[in-house]
Amino acid sequence: MTRLMLGRTLERICKAVLLLCLVHFVIMMILYFDVYSQRFDQIFSRFNNGRNASRNGHHYYYNLSRPNATFASYLATADQLLPSVRPEGNHTPPTAKPIPPCPEIPPGLVGRLLIEFASQMTMERVQKENPNVTEGGKYTPPDCRAKQKVAIIIPFRHRDNHLKYWLHYLHPILRRQKIDYAIYIITQLGEDTFNRAKLLNVGYTEALKDAEYDCFIFSDVDLIPMDDRNLYHCYDQPRHFAIAMDKFGFRLPYAGYFGGVSGLSKKQFLKINGFPNEYWGWGGEDDDIYNRITLNGMKVVRPDVRIGRYRMIKHERDKHNEPNPQRFNKIQNTKNTMKRDGISTLTYRVLQFKKYPLYTNISVEIGKPPPRPFRG
């Protein structure tokens, strides 16, 4: 008897709960259709107003094919998609939204990179990889305003294969870094002794004829950064980027080393009278530049050694770029020579200035080295 009464009681409770759920469901459906009927009334009323306005000379077009859009999100943004028709006399054009400054640390950086030179590289492949790079090797971030305009200068001769790899890696890195940049390849014509520092002076001068730049990055064509957090822009002091190359065991070879990749602002570059023009052959010019910086009251700053790592493309020593036997004597006399040897005394002749899809090439004649003193 007790079990029978208990079963009936549970049955009544279950029926009551089901009845409450049904009532709740009916109420929610009524509210739901009421709200959306109001929303549909607003949309169709504005649509009719838009049609009437189009008859009076006003036309509105809406792109409803937005990615990830749903009908519910369309309803939620109907007020923005269907503006009210205003008298033509009160119509004011929308103001362009200002572009924000680029962040100090761009969010798209990936950190340590895998750099290899085994795969075949072509200019066609590099061009397809970088469709947003414009003629002359120029790029401007589309979504933010870079604080500097950077010219990247590369001294060059007979390194076409190296250039392909450099462009393959550096264009994507620079874009992720949100750098407003252009790339200038300064080609020394002829087979006379190579002069790296003088070519860098030429690149500085010719880049400023092409556009107004705040910052200059000077890079060898065979050095690839292994970390995109090594940001290619200028700092309050001259910057040495390539502080840990694989050929040196990822260590700085000596405290005054300033070779490979460096950066100076326009003001810093002019303060040291640019780079020396009289270092013909391999070696010495980067130590002279380091001396110029310190002698003018500045100091060299560097990234963390874990970030400033570089891989060098292996190659044989270039012909007509033998070690300069006079480099050690010249380095000791930087204080006496830097005011009379530099950007202020630069002479050269441009034979070709041509913009390619991925870079600008400037081919120049820079003269010949003076005859070496005879040793009796």
Question: How many other β-carbons are positioned within 10 Å of the β-carbon of residue 331?
Answer: 20
Distance CA 276, CA 333 (A): 12
List 51, 145, 251, 315, catalytic entry: 315
Of 206, 202, 262, 274, the closest CA to residue 237 belongs to 262
Cβ proximity of 65 and 104 under 8 Å: no
List 206, 222, 228, 341, catalytic entry: 222
List 220, 227, 278, 287, catalytic entry: 220
At 375 the pLDDT is 53
Q: Catalytic residue at 34?
A: no
**Domain-embedded: residue 70:** no
**Domain-embedded: residue 276:** no
Question: How many other β-carbons are positioned within 10 Å of the β-carbon of residue 282?
Answer: 17
**Domain-embedded: residue 102:** no
Q: Catalytic residue at 341?
A: no
Q: Using the 8-state DSSP alphabet, how is residue 155 labeled?
A: E
Q: Catalytic residue at 282?
A: yes
Distance CA 360, CA 215 (A): 17
Q: Using the 8-state DSSP alphabet, how is residue 284 labeled?
A: S
**Domain-embedded: residue 204:** yes
Q: Catalytic residue at 129?
A: no
What is the pTM (predicted TM-score) of this model?
0.74
List 312, 327, 338, 341, catalytic entry: 312
Question: How many other β-carbons are positioned within 10 Å of the β-carbon of residue 82?
Answer: 17
Question: Alpha helix (H) ranges present in 92-139?
Answer: 123-129
At 54 the pLDDT is 41
At 249 the pLDDT is 96
Distance CA 370, CA 217 (A): 29
Please state the domain count of the chain: 1
Of 246, 245, 235, 320, the closest CA to residue 286 belongs to 245
Q: Catalytic residue at 372?
A: no
Look at the chain and count its residues. 376
**Domain-embedded: residue 202:** yes
144, 325, 330 from 321: Cα distances, Å: 42, 12, 17
State the residue range of the domain holding 169. 133-268+299-325+349-365
Residue with tokens 């649509």: 47
At 258 the pLDDT is 97
List 3, 59, 317, 340, catalytic entry: 317
List 206, 228, 278, 285, catalytic entry: 285
At 6 the pLDDT is 65
**Domain-embedded: residue 104:** no
Distance CA 252, CA 245 (A): 8
List 214, 246, 282, 322, catalytic entry: 282
**Domain-embedded: residue 339:** no
Q: Catalytic residue at 227?
A: no
Residues of the chain under the 70 pLDDT cut = 1-7, 24, 26-93, 315-323, 325, 372-376
Q: Catalytic residue at 1?
A: no
Q: Catalytic residue at 222?
A: yes
Cβ proximity of 141 and 102 under 8 Å: yes
β-bridge mates for residue 360, sequence order: 184, 355
Of 116, 144, 279, 129, the closest CA to residue 199 belongs to 279
Of 291, 300, 294, 373, the closest CA to residue 332 belongs to 291
**Domain-embedded: residue 281:** no
List 227, 286, 287, 288, catalytic entry: 286
β-bridge mates for residue 251, sequence order: 245
CATH of the domain at 223: 3.90.550.10
β-bridge mates for residue 188, sequence order: 364
Cβ proximity of 197 and 288 under 8 Å: yes
